[in-house]
Amino acid sequence: MQQKINLSKAVADNNYHFDDIHSPLTHKEALEEASRCLYCYNAPCITACPTHINIPDFIRKISTNNLQGSAQTILSENIFGGSCARVCPTEILCEHACVRNTHPESNPVKIGLLQRHAIDNIQGEYPFVRKSDTNKKIAVIGAGPAGISCAHKLAQLGHAIDIFEKESKIGGLNEYGIASYKLVNNYSELEINKILDIGNINIFTKKTLGDNLFLNDLLDRYHAVFIAIGLASARKLNIPGESLPNVLDATHFIHTIRQHQIQESLKGKSAIVIGGGNTAIDVAVQLKKLGAGKVTLAYRRGYQHMSATLKEQQLAQLHDVHKETWFNPIKIDQLTDKKLAVTFHIQTHEIPQETITLTADYVFKAIGQTLCTQSLFRQNQSTLSVHQRKIAVNDNYQTSIPSVFAGGDCIYKGQDLTVYAVQQGKEAAESIHSYIIGD
C-alpha cells in the first residue's frame, strides 16, 4: 500500500516556486548556438535520439529564423518535444553523440536548449490535422507520455480515442513524477492541452485498472486497447523498519510536492535518500530547495554504478547533497519520537561488512518502481503474459491478447525515460492502426 506522507502540521513556508533549472536561450543566443551545428551527413545525433528527430534540419530552420518550421520538424517525430527538451538526459543521448564533442572545444551543440527555443516560440496550435473518421474506437489506459503519444498518433489517423487515467490529472510522470524545477509553471498541463487540440480524444480520470476499469469490458467495447500504465508500485527495501511513519516512497514525495500538498515545513530537517538514480537525486535536490538541513544520498554501490547521469550527480553536489557510496541498508529503527536510525553495511572490499548508523528525520526510498501486476489480473480480467515483471509484448507492442497492445515503462523495452515512452506510444499507434484496419 502507498504510504501517506505523515506531515500533519499546516505551515506556510514551503516555497513551491521552484526556479527553472535551465534558463531558456534568447533568440540571439539560439542563433549563435545554431551556427555551431555542422549539419552532419548521417548525423549521429538523430540516431541517438530515441524519437529520431531530424536535429540538423530543425537547427537549420532556427538559423534561418523559421521557428515555426523548426517546431514542426520536432513535433512530427516527438509530440512531447517541449517537455523532452526540458527533461531528457541529452548528455547521454543526442548531445553525447554530437560530433562537436570530438572537436578541440569538446562542447556539443546545445540541442536540448535549441529544441526548447523552437517549441516555446511556436505560434498558435500544434500543426496537425486529423484524417477522415474511420469509425474505429481505441481505449488507452494511462494518460502519461506513452498513452498520450499513442492517442495523438491514432487521432491523426482518424480513429476515436478514449483515455482512462487513474489520477485526477493527466500527464503521468510529467505531471506527478518529474522534479518540480525541471517542468515549471504547469508546463505538463499546458503542453498536453496543445497536444489534445487535435480532437477526437476523450479523457476519463479516476479510472483504475482492476478497480473500476476492466480489460474484459474494454475488449467488448473497443476495437483495440493500449495499456500504458507505467510502473505504479515503489520497489521495497525488504528490511526491518521499512513501514515506520517517516520512511517514505520517493515518487510519492515528488508527487506530493508537485501537487503542493506538503503541509509541514522541511526547513532544517535531515533526510536520508536511499538510491542512486535520477529519482533519488530529484528528491535530494528538492529537499534542499525546500530548506532541508543535511540530506544524505546513500547508494549501495559505487559512483560508476549509479544510474543517475553525471550531470544529475553534479546537480546534487551543487546543492550540497552529501553522498555515501557502498552503503547497503539493513534496518531502520525509530530512535526517538522524531528521529530514525538507518543501519548500513559498508560493502567495499577494503572494509568488508563493517556497519554504520546514520540518523535523520526522514528516510526516502528511491530504489525504483515495479509494475503492479495485481491490477492486471484482478477480477475476471483476461490474462496478459508477463516477462521480467513487465507486460510481455512482441516487436509490434502486441501483448498475449491480440487486440491489446502495451508500451512505456510497463513493458520491458528501452529505458524508463519520457522520450522512450513517447516513441513507444507512437510506434504502438502504427501497429494498432495496422491491426484494426486489417493491414
- Name the site residues for ligand SF4 (rule: CB under 6 A): 37-40, 43-45, 55-56, 98-100, 109, 111
In the complex, least distance from residue 66 CB atom to ligand SF4, rounded to whole angstroms:
17
Considering the complex, state which of residue 98 and residue 366 has its C-beta at the smaller distance from ligand SF4: 98
Please, what's the b/e burial string for 108-143 (b: 16 or more CB within 10 A of its CB; e: otherwise)?
Answer: bbbbbbbbbbbbeebeeebebeeeeeeebbbbbbbb
What distance in Å separates the CA atoms of residue 237 and residue 239, rounded to the nearest whole number? Answer: 6
Nearest to ligand SF4 of 42, 238 (CB atom): 42
Q: Which is nearer to ligand SF4, 96 or 390 (CB)?
A: 96
Nearer to ligand SF4 by C-beta: 98 or 163? 98
Q: Are 263 and 10 in contact (CB under 8 A)?
A: yes
Q: How far is the CB of 315 from ligand SF4 (least distance, A)?
A: 23
C-alpha cell at 247: 520512511
Q: Give the burial class of 387: count Cβ atoms within 10 A of its Cβ; 0-12 exposed, 13-18 middle, 19 or more buried.
A: exposed
Sheet containing strand 271-274, edge to edge, reads 247-249, 362-365, 271-274, 295-298, 322-324
Cβ 99 to ligand SF4 shortest distance, Å: 5
| Distance, CA of 292 to CA of 379 (rounded, Å) | 44
Q: Beta-carbon neighbour count of residue 410 at 10 Å?
A: 28
Q: Least distance from C-beta 8 to ligand SF4, angstroms?
A: 51
- The nearer residue to ligand SF4, 53 or 231, going by C-beta atoms, is 53
Query: Which residues are CB-neighbours of 285 under 8 A, at least 6 positions away?
Result: 179, 181, 315, 316, 319, 321
- Residue 303 C-beta: closest distance to ligand SF4, Å: 28
Supply the minimum distance, in Å, between the C-beta of residue 114 and ligand SF4: 9
Question: What's the number of CA atoms in the CB half-sphere (13 Å) around residue 4?
Answer: 5
Residues 187/18, Cβ–Cβ less than 8 Å? no
Nearest approach in angstroms of CB 58 to ligand SF4 is 10
- For residue 180 the three cell numbers come to 518540480
Residue 36: CA atoms inside 13 Å, Cβ hemisphere, count? 18
Shortest separation between residue 127's beta carbon and ligand SF4, angstroms: 23
> Which amino acid is located at 353 in the chain?
Q
> Which C-beta is closer to ligand SF4: that of 109 or that of 283?
109
Give 94 or 287: the residue with its C-beta nearer to ligand SF4: 94
Rounded-to-integer distance, Cα 420 and Cα 418, Å? 6
> What DSSP string describes 316-359?
HHHTT-EEE-SEEEEEEEE-SSS-EEEEEEE--SSSTTEEEEEE
Please identify, using beta-carbon distances, which residue of 16 and 39 lies nearer to ligand SF4.
Answer: 39
Smaller CB separation from ligand SF4, 54 or 263: 54
Query: What gap in Å lies between CA 299 and CA 348, rounded to an integer?
Result: 12
User: Between 114 and 183, whose beta carbon lies closer to ligand SF4?
Assistant: 114
Q: How near is the Cβ of 2 to ligand SF4 at its closest, in Å?
A: 42
Least separation in angstroms between CB 145 and ligand SF4? 24
> What single DSSP character describes residue 92?
G
